Amino acid sequence: MTLWFENNNGEWRPIAECAEKMDAIIAIHQFIDKCNENKPEDEKFISYYTRILESDDFIHYDVGSHTEFFHLQIDSNAKIPKISMEE
């Protein structure tokens, strides 16, 4: 299963391959930690909650950013809305 990150422009990019659903939670926290590595302490993102919703062949994760989300593709044929060209 592919874990996707959706940025604030609605663009999706793959960030991890997950064997199990629990792997997605770990990968999300690792992604957030990596994004925070070079930020000043007062600019680091902190996730205070995670809301999970399953629909449309995905498990959607809202980690409290209001503009960025994570999506676990549980069906390999699921349509990805808008793929980012960034790495």
Per-position pLDDT tens, the chain of length 87 = 999 999 999 999 999 999 999 999 999 999 999 999 999 999 999 999 999 999 989 999 999 999 999 999 999 999 998 888 765
- Whole-angstrom Cα distance, residue 26 to residue 57? 20
Residues 6+ apart with CB under 8 A from 11: 82, 83, 84, 86
State pTM to two decimals.
0.90
Write down the pLDDT at residue 87.
Answer: 56
Burial of 18 (0-12, 13-18, 19+ CB in 10 A): buried
